[in-house]
A and B are shown apart, each in its own frame.
Chain A
Amino acid sequence: MSSEAATGAVASGRPHRHDAWRKWAEIAFFVTPALALMALFVAWPIFTAARFSLYDWNGLGPLDDFIGFANYAEVLADDVFRAAVAHNMIIVVGSIIVQLPLGVAIALLLNRKMAGQGVLRTLIFVPYVLAEVIAGVIWFQLLQPEYGLVDALMNGIGLSPPEEGWLGTPEVALWVVLAVLTWKYLGLAVLLFLAGLQGVSEELYEAAQLDGAGWWQTQWRISIPLLGPTIRTWCFLSMIGSIQCFDMIWVLTGGGPANATTTMATYLIDEGTNRHNYGIAGAASVVLFAIAFVMALVYQLVVLRRDTKEAA
């Protein structure tokens, strides 16, 4: 609608200024919707959570009981929250050390020309495409104590599954959750690594072959080093996903048994939505935000710096 008015104005004879104005108008025009959505659904909730975190509030009535940083002190001293942070970190590290070698190995394998390549690629990628909640419900049923498929199979071959079930035994529940998360997200790693491998120039392989390098040597000396930037980006994505980990845990264990699988996200749902301690939940979410932000920043500065530098 503004463009017609603009064409009229061009004729009035100050083309330079007008072009600049028009450019800005266009930028504003295209950016405003995205900015408005960001402000409404990202910036405003963050601001609101930060505001709640300074009050003692149960969700009803006015927000008038200002208590400063008492909620933060309480959250940081809470054993359940500390355990939740520890679980998050276990998931961050566990996901990377399990999925990285496995993902690279599968990607290298699937990068070779072989029969059934397409089918295999699809199979590996299917779990990632499944909605997390649906995958969670399916695994929950498979892992049922006594009546679940996993227990039945194990009993069938003479192994004994944990007495209280895979998800009901506090000592093993987190590892089981980690295994399911690995199953779910390995596909993404493989997909990214495969894409990264496509970017490795064919000439390099040829040169290596001429120099007499075997398949293993070629992978070790050429493919993997050149996959570096992809791996570093994937690690970053995986890390952020692990810190925010919620859906799968909520469906599989709800944070139990005995708080063995809580994460920061389940903690804040429990405190906020279930117990109406909105101040505590607000403080927990700000802490979650700070942890994710610092980790992302440090990672960007330390690990991703050379990638971005190369690009620039």
Chain B
Amino acid sequence: MPRKTQALAALCAGLMIAATGCGGSGDSGGDDKTITWWHNSNNDPGKGFYEQVAKDFEDANPGVDVKVQAMAHEDMLTKLDAAFQSGDVPDVYMERGGGELADHVEAGLTRDLSEDSKDIIEQIGGSAAGWQVDGKTYALPFSMGVVGFWYNTELFEKAGVTAPPATMADLYAAFDKLDKAGITPVSLGAGDGWPAAHYWYYTALRACSQDVLETAVADLDFSDPCFVEAGETVEEIVAEKPFNKGFLSTPSQTGPTSASGLLATGKVAMELAGHWEPGVMQGITEDKQGLGDKTGWFPFPAVDGGEGDPAAQLGGGDAWAVSEGAPDKAVDLVNHLLSDEVQKGFAENDMGLPTIPAAGSAVKDPALAELLKVRDEAPFVQLYFDTAFGESVGGAMNDEIALQFAGKATPEDVVKATQEAADKEK
């Protein structure tokens, strides 16, 4: 009997330890020689490339130990969320910029890099705007893309669309031609919200002047009539019915019947998406080629009568940030990550679109090179509105735009819902 009780006691004690002792992992090891670095390139060649970069940095800085953690993107976001809440943030991590970064800055979690990375910030130029709060730069974008239409050159040819649409009228004409040829013109993953919202972002970018947009981001003020006009253009697009069947519940990137999958498998002619699209399509198709050499890209067309610059682009990217309280060497690491050499290697391995001008020529893919040219020639790149406004306002805005695509909200409703969510932030 006593033996049995003892065994049980041991078991219970073990369970309790397992339940309560959440084993603190202590990522932010206090000494100033160890740097923790989280990134999301968890597949080769990116993973191996970053391991080599960390090793080179360690060799150049004797005594410094860089602890690299590569994880899947979604996992990284979840872990980062938890890290921000506990205050135990890795020394070097990824920031998407905008409202999210502003929250981190306000909570004192992110280090100001304006002085320590001055040279690099100058080289990056206007692209750094999304990572600046009150004139200070808190993270260095290492990859930055713009959103545009990815299309299947073969299907365009088959339907007799000879030149990529430059105006909305061209775009609607292309829809008609594709329809007549029995091809679904556009795939849209409205099930995820943001892919639909990107249409609204672009029509707002075409309808509103840069000043109005800057005020909207800074003061969360959407009273300018151009925001309603943006919704009206979206209404026009939806009325054309160019989308795949069931687009309201279509996911954006997972599986062959997602929006990206439909484009990759030749079921639709085009999709509005960011610079990640070729990579996503390659992941979905069996031969890992995506659309291969049938891949084409053109920027969002000009909209008649808008105040916005037709060359302005919508985009976003990822930036390296250093957490408050990280060792100074972490700043050196981030600067090294933005060096010409690392950025070139980054581009050569097709890991993204480099932000340092000297590395631009290393992008070999013709469609991505075209996209890079448009990005660099743009008078300004507007950060995705949901990122710029932060999750709370951005989420409310995306939901209402998705409702508009379902015919359940008017252009005025979208502005109203966004303004209401924004007023709560003030």
A interface residues, Cβ below 8 angstroms from B: 1-4, 7, 29-30, 32-33, 36-37, 40-41, 58-61, 80, 141, 144-148, 163-165, 167-170, 173, 253-254, 256-259, 270, 274-277
Number of A-B contacts (CB under 8 A): 110
Provided the pairs A256-B191, A257-B190 are in contact, do residues A60 and B107 lie with their beta carbons within 8 angstroms? yes
Report if B9 contacts A (CB, 8 A). Answer: yes
Q: Are B9 and A168 neighbours in the complex by a CB distance under 8 Å?
A: no
Task: State which residues 232-249 of B face A: CB under 8 Å.
Answer: 244-249
Q: Total interface residues on B, using CB and 8 Å?
A: 41
Closest to A252 in B: B249
| A7 cross-chain contacts in B, Cβ below 8 A | 2
| A40 cross-chain contacts in B, Cβ below 8 A | 19-20
Contact with A along B385-409 (1 / 0, CB 8 A): 0000001100110010011001010
Q: Are B109 and A275 neighbours in the complex by a CB distance under 8 Å?
A: no
| B257 cross-chain contacts in A, Cβ below 8 A | 141, 144, 147-148
Instruction: Show 12 A/B contacts (Cβ-Cβ < 8 Å), sorted by A.
Output: A2-B9, A3-B6, A59-B84, A61-B107, A146-B244, A164-B249, A165-B249, A168-B249, A170-B406, A257-B249, A258-B408, A275-B395
Q: Are B12 and A257 neighbours in the complex by a CB distance under 8 Å?
A: no
| A2 cross-chain contacts in B, Cβ below 8 A | 5, 9
Q: Are A274 and B109 neighbours in the complex by a CB distance under 8 Å?
A: no
Closest to B1 in A: A3
CB distance from A174 to the nearest CB of B (A): 12
Taking A164-B246, A257-B190 as known contacts, 14 extra A-B pairs with beta carbons closer than 8 A to each other, sorted by chain A number, are: A1-B6, A3-B2, A36-B16, A59-B81, A60-B104, A167-B246, A167-B249, A170-B248, A254-B192, A256-B191, A257-B248, A257-B249, A258-B403, A259-B403
Closest to A56 in B: B424
Contact with A along B77-110 (1 / 0, CB 8 A): 0000100110000000000000000011011110
CA distance A277 to B103 in the complex (A): 13
Provided the pairs A165-B249, A258-B403 are in contact, do residues A36 and B396 lie with their beta carbons within 8 angstroms? no
| B107 cross-chain contacts in A, Cβ below 8 A | 60-61
Closest to B14 in A: A33
Q: Are A36 and B249 neighbours in the complex by a CB distance under 8 Å?
A: no
Contact of A36 among B20, B244, B255, B402 (CB under 8 A): B20
Q: Are A256 and B9 neighbours in the complex by a CB distance under 8 Å?
A: no
| B8 cross-chain contacts in A, Cβ below 8 A | 30
Provided the pairs A36-B19, A36-B20, A37-B19 are in contact, do residues A168 and B248 lie with their beta carbons within 8 angstroms? yes
Provided the pairs A36-B20, A40-B20 are in contact, do residues A3 and B5 lie with their beta carbons within 8 angstroms? yes
User: Which among A1, A4, A256, A277 has the highest number of chain B CB atoms within 10 Å?
Assistant: A256
Closest to A145 in B: B246
Q: Are A170 and B408 neighbours in the complex by a CB distance under 8 Å?
A: yes
Contact of B406 among A4, A29, A258 (CB under 8 A): A258
Q: Are A274 and B2 neighbours in the complex by a CB distance under 8 Å?
A: no
Task: State which residues 7-26 of B face A: CB under 8 Å.
Answer: 8-9, 12, 15-16, 19-20
CA distance A37 to B20 in the complex (A): 8
Provided the pairs A36-B16, A60-B109, A61-B106 are in contact, do residues A277 and B245 lie with their beta carbons within 8 angstroms? no
Task: State which residues 185-217 of B face A: CB under 8 Å.
Answer: 190-192
CB distance from B74 to the nearest CB of A (A): 12
CB distance from B137 to the nearest CB of A (A): 20
CA distance A37 to B396 in the complex (A): 37
Q: Are A29 and B246 neighbours in the complex by a CB distance under 8 Å?
A: no
Closest to A61 in B: B107
Task: State which residues 150-166 of B face A: CB under 8 Å.
Answer: none
CB distance from A4 to the nearest CB of B (A): 6
CB distance from B95 to the nearest CB of A (A): 13
| B20 cross-chain contacts in A, Cβ below 8 A | 36, 40
| A1 cross-chain contacts in B, Cβ below 8 A | 5-6, 9
Q: Are B392 and A277 neighbours in the complex by a CB distance under 8 Å?
A: yes
Contact of A168 among B106, B250, B391 (CB under 8 A): B250
